[in-house]
Amino acid sequence: MNSFTYCVPTKVYFGTNQLCHLGEELKRFGKRVLLTYGGGSIKKSGLYDAVVSEIRGAGLELYELSGIAPNPRIDSVREGAKLCKEKKIDVLLAVGGGSTIDATKWMAAGACVEHDPWDFFSKWSPVEKALPVCSVLTLSATGSEMNGGGVVSNPETKDKIGRVESILRPRVSFLDPSATFSVSKYQTACGAADILSHIFEEYFTTEKDLYMLDCCMEGLMKTVIRYAPIAMENPTDYEARANLMWASSWALNGFVNGGKQHSWSCHSMEHELSAFYDITHGLGLAILTPRWLEHCLNEKTLFKYVQFGVNVFGIDPALEPLAIAKKSIQMLSDFFFKTLGLDDTLTKIGIGEENFSVMAKKACGGGTIEGFVPLNEKDIETIFKACL
């Protein structure tokens, strides 16, 4: 295995009644707070009032930016960066899911430069400074609450690009599972698929890995498989929501990576689906993942499917390895499409093959995704077609 550095300085307040620490934490960074949120779910749930009351109670100055869309747009980032400059914002507070937190991170970076924030993605302009970001998470999915990643869409260029910069990692995150009670069945299912995919992207590798990390990843997967259906059935089940929330953070805060060097495959392909068709990230991943696993199955990768099938789905290890591998893909498909009730084909969500070749080219940057198995344009197009 490779050497690595691990440093996750996000302070986490986990559980109910933790919001009472919000004011004191924000105060550490200054006086002027920019509160960012999405389309209004936090107003319906009452979280907005609770957050505003804490901010005001701490004597801080409050500014707001709302309307951040799922698959957040660069326009929101531009607006936020401008507001930060105009109002001399000291700290940004994102209250929402991954879209709100991601966009807010890039507002924080955009506030410290003179160029267009899209340059961070189109020209890979350096991120040397950023205002501090804190978050109050409302949806268990992306891990954005504890990582430095942020994915932004540009509808004009049909691009959806992610970039990770540790300087953008939230300084403090409030993780109250009850803030996710109001998440719909559909978004709970998509969130579960996203968490699983973050683990799969690291787990399915032919690189030599730490046994300890494989065990942790299998535990995280089993947690999602156990609790997502419970949360969908009973949205106010605290234990289920808590397990999903903490799993979402640990699936993508760098911990399970453990120095692995390979690229992510399903995310590269899914970002093209979201960029062209604005679909929910987790849904795209659920449709792609079983087809990707089928595509990658070969003599060299077989052992990993066997490990997955036996340890995660409890398949009988006495069966033939290939039978275990095929059964594990089938059981995963059943979980996504029967248990979680997600649509199982791109056709069902109105996506045809018209853009597949250009999407495939963009997904691999015209070269190869060096993932579980290397994927070139043709491989990616084949996987997209298998999803129809």
Chain positions contacting Zn ion, by CB under 5 A: 194
Closest residue to Zn ion, based on beta-carbon distance: 194
Residue 371 contacts ligand NZQ per CB under 6 A: no
Can you give the C-alpha Rg of the chain in angstroms?
20
Cβ neighbours for 314, distance < 8 A, ≥ 6 positions apart: none
Q: Which residues of 32-54 are buried (b: 16+ CB within 10 A; e: fewer)?
A: bbbbbbbeebbeebebbebbeeb
- 235 is in the binding site of which of Zn ion, ligand NZQ, none (Cβ under 5 to 8 A by kind)? none
23 binds ligand NZQ (CB under 6 A): no
Which lies closer to Zn ion via its Cβ, residue 271 or residue 295? 271
Q: Which of 36, 71, 76, 173 touches ligand NZQ (CB under 6 A)?
A: 71
The residues with which 369 forms a beta bridge, in sequence order, are 375
193 or 380, CB closer to Zn ion?
193
Q: Which does 173 bind (CB under 5 to 8 A by kind): ligand NZQ, Zn ion, none?
A: none
Cβ-contact 228, 316 below 8 angstroms:
no
Residue position matching structure tokens 């009973």:
234
Q: Which is nearer to Zn ion, 55 or 265 (CB)?
A: 265
Q: Which does 135 bind (CB under 5 to 8 A by kind): Zn ion, ligand NZQ, none?
A: none
Q: What is the dihedral of CA 325, 328, 330, 333, to 10 degrees?
A: -130
Nearer to ligand NZQ, 249 or 311 (CB): 249
3-state secondary structure at position 62: strand
Per-residue buried b or exposed e for 150-176, using 16+ beta carbons within 10 Å of the residue's own CB? bbbbbeeeebbbebebeebbbbbbbbb
Structure tokens at 245: 């929330």
Which residue type does 9 have?
A: P
**CA of 76: how far to CAs of 12, 87, 101, 223, in Å?**
26, 16, 12, 34
Question: Within 236-275, which residues bind ligand NZQ (CB under 6 A)?
Answer: 252, 267
70 is in the binding site of which of Zn ion, ligand NZQ, none (Cβ under 5 to 8 A by kind)?
ligand NZQ
* Cβ atoms 381, 360 nearer than 8 A: yes
**Cβ-Cβ contacts under 8 Å for 17 (sequence gap 6 or more):** none
**Which residues 208-237 are close enough to bind ligand NZQ by CB under 6 A?**
none
- Judged by CB under 6 A, which stretch of 5-13, 38-46, 79-87, 224-232 contacts ligand NZQ? 38-46
Q: Interface with ligand NZQ by CB under 6 A: which range of 27-35, 141-149, 226-234, 364-372?
A: 141-149
| Residue whose structure tokens are 């004191």 | 24
Which residue number, 54 or 272, has a Cβ lying nearer to Zn ion?
Answer: 272
Q: Please say which residue, 194 or 202, places its beta carbon nearer to Zn ion.
A: 194
CA angle 334, 229, 210 (to 5 degrees): 75
81 vs 251, which CB is nearer to ligand NZQ?
251
Nearest 5°: phi and psi at 83?
Answer: -60, -40
Output the smallest distance, CB 194 to ligand NZQ, in A: 6
By beta-carbon proximity to Zn ion, the closer residue of 194 and 272 is: 194
Q: Is 309 in the site for ligand NZQ (CB under 6 A)?
A: no
Whether 115 contacts 74, CB under 8 Å: no
41 lines the binding site for ligand NZQ (CB under 6 A): yes
Structure tokens at 46: 């009452």
Q: Shortest distance, CB of residue 308 to ligand NZQ, whole angstroms?
A: 20
User: 151-190: which residues touch ligand NZQ (CB under 6 A)?
Assistant: 151, 162, 179-180, 182-183, 187
Single out the segment in contact with ligand NZQ by CB under 6 A; choices: 98-106, 123-131, 286-294, 318-326: 98-106
Residue of the chain from 135, 138, 243, 249 that contacts ligand NZQ (CB under 6 A): 138
Q: Using CB under 6 A, list all residues that contact ligand NZQ.
A: 38-42, 45, 70-71, 96-100, 102, 138-139, 141-144, 147, 149-151, 162, 179-180, 182-183, 187, 191, 194, 252, 267, 281-282
